[in-house]
Amino acid sequence: MTVMKNHDKRDDHPTHARRLRKGERLVNWELPPRPAWMTNVEYAQMPQSVEIRLVVSAGVQSDSTEDASEWCGRRS
């Protein structure tokens, strides 16, 4: 599992998220446009979307995935 603070440019309460319980939601993050530093081959290996569980804990927004290696190819 990976836990991290939600990026300040990401919506903490996305309207398209599925509510699990108070303070927890599931949301799909779509693949953004390829950054200039990433090769076409690397970009092609990225998934089209990632399902993220958003959790608010003690007033802090965080994101988690069950296994980040499933979508980024690295172990955290």
pLDDT digits (tens, 9 = 90+) for 13-69: 677 788 888 878 888 888 999 999 999 999 999 999 988 888 876 655 555 555 545
52 C-beta neighbours (distance < 10 Å), count: 22
pLDDT score of 75? 45
pLDDT score of 56? 75
Residue 76 above 50 pLDDT?
Answer: no
Domain count, the chain: 1
Decide if 76 is inside a domain: no
pLDDT score of 71? 47
Coil, strand, or helix at residue 9? coil
Decide if 27 is inside a domain: yes
Residue span of the structural domain in which 30 resides: 2-71
Note the pTM of the prediction, 2 decimals.
0.56
Averaged over 65-75, what is the pLDDT? 51
